[in-house]
Amino acid sequence: MPELPEVQTVVQTLSRHVGGMWIARVHCHRRDIITPAGADLASLLTGRRIQLVSRRGKRIIVRLDTGQWFWIHLGMTGRLTAEPADAPLRPHTHLCLDLVGGPDGTNLDISTPISAVACQVRFCDPRRFGGIFIPTPGQTPDDGMGPEPLEMTADQLAQCMSRTSRPIKSALLDQSIIAGLGNIYADEALFAARIHPLTSACKITPEPIARLCESIQKILRNAITAGGSTLRDFLDADGHRGRFQDLHKVYGHAADPCPTCTKPIRRIVLAGRSTHFCPGCQIQPRRTNARKIRRKST
């Protein structure tokens, strides 16, 4: 569900509700969504003020007034919403935070009346691939993360890609190489840049790399403007669906005519994921596998 544009949309919509608010109470309905297992999230959060909600790759970073921070990952079906505390709970809601406003930290214990609760932040995730992550000492939000696609230069992208011979699609999905792309936007960006998904990442020349850099950034920006893509589950913090799914050119369009050349869009499986491309616009790289077939001695 969530790639960079969806996560960014959640961060933007959530920030309006929670920036500067105090966490009065923590309701955790499932302990196993928290990593490391057994961490005491309630005592970490209760009575603390939310200073900033931001994004790194697909992670939602929350900073508290104490300097402590943690992150939320939405996995495939995770939702982070801001709702009235008396709104009905969706099934699979695993965590709720009661937030109170105001310039001071009054009423920050269990005696806070429900009427003082400005809103509840809720984490709902049916498949539970997402979760709440508390960093280990010394860990930073950048650990294990490649560059931010919206801030990288074409040279940086070339550098990232020069270090692996894997298919470009596979490299784009690797968060330690570049942070934020997922299956939808990797396919859309490769189509826009006219690069075949099986092309070896280190064999792409500077010109197509520059095209890819521009395509990635243009698509991500447009998707953020459209509030992300809602295929099934995604909602922003206000419960609104995204609109970018209507602008997908190849993702989910197997067998449809290519919007550019009318050849049917193909779907293959690469790195275990559905991969969509136009065989007319995205030319297949020359086969690099050995011609000789080696026979094992028997």
Partner DNA sequence: GTCCATGTTCTTTA
Partner DNA sequence: CTAAAGAACATGGA
> Where on the chain is the footprint of DNA (CB under 7 A)?
1-3, 6, 57-58, 73, 75-76, 91-92, 126-129, 164-167, 170, 173, 175, 182-184, 228-234, 270-274
Residue 135 contacts residue 167 (beta carbons within 8 Å): no
* Amino acid at the residue 144: G
Please indicate whether residue 151 is annotated as part of the active site: no
Known active-site residue 3: yes
Comparison of 47 and 126: residue with beta carbon closer to DNA: 126
Which of the following is catalytic: 2, 5, 149, 167? 2
Select 45 or 270, whichever has its Cβ closest to DNA. Answer: 270
Burial of 24 (0-12, 13-18, 19+ CB in 10 A): buried
Shortest spacing between CB 273 and DNA, in angstroms: 5
**2 included as an active-site residue:** yes
User: Of 25, 48, 55, 58, which one is the catalytic site residue?
Assistant: 58
**Number of separate helices (H) and strands (E) present in the chain:** 6, 11
Report in angstroms how near the CB of residue 51 gets to DNA at its nearest.
24
Least separation in angstroms between residue 272's CB and DNA is 5
> Is 203 in the active site?
no
CB atoms closer than 10 angstroms to residue 84: 9
Least distance between DNA and beta carbon 259 (Å): 20
DSSP for residue 293:
P
Query: Of 277, 288, 142, 272, nearest to 203 (Cα)?
Result: 288
- Residue 164 identity: T
Among candidate residues 194, 273, 279, 285, the one labeled active-site is 273
* Smallest separation (angstroms) from DNA to the CB of 111: 34
3-state secondary structure of 50: strand
The full DSSP string for 51-95 is: EEEEEETTEEEEEETTS-EEEEE-TTT-EEEEE-TTSPPPTTEEE
Nearer to DNA, 120 or 230 (CB): 230
Q: Cβ closer to DNA: 107 or 175?
A: 175
What are the catalytic residues? 2-3, 58, 273
